[in-house]
Amino acid sequence: MSIDTTTHPIVQAILDANQSPEDVTVLIGYFGPSSPSKPDHVRLYLSLDFHSYIELYNPKAGGGDILNTLPPDPDNPNHPTVVFVKANADVKFVKTSSTGVQASFLQGPIASANRCAILGIEAVWHITLPITHCNNC
């Protein structure tokens, strides 16, 4: 019985980029634009909830962090792209989160102080700390 040892397409794509596999990091995600202040970057969203992404340097002239990609499956519009990135690339990982709260939670002293900061008003805090005594006093 013959064993199939055909080079996997992902490994072949790394080799096609003239890289050795240990010099490449393989990421999987969904490309999107970066902020307008970073025209030479793209975002790679790691999932379809869009709560985390990696900012990759990708100038139009080439020479960025992205070495190669394997396109998404045309039969599955939600299929991610396989992205080959230089292992030594300095990338920015961003994770966002939000929490639902009741509106009354936003009425406390911390929220009030933050509202003052947003409005440019100085907030004054008065905190009373309990006095404790040791056994020697």
Q: What's the rounded Cα separation, in Å, for the pair 24 and 68?
A: 10
pLDDT tens, 70-91?
877 888 878 899 898 999 999 9
Residue 40 predicted with pLDDT over 90: yes
Q: What is the value of pTM for the model shown?
A: 0.62
Residue 69 predicted with pLDDT over 70: yes
Q: Residue ranges of the domains in the chain?
A: 9-95
User: What pLDDT, on a 0 to 100 scale, did the predictor assign at position 126?
Assistant: 38
Overall average pLDDT of the 103-120 stretch: 55
Q: What's the rounded Cα separation, in Å, for the pair 19 and 6?
A: 19
Q: What's the rounded Cα separation, in Å, for the pair 92 and 113?
A: 31
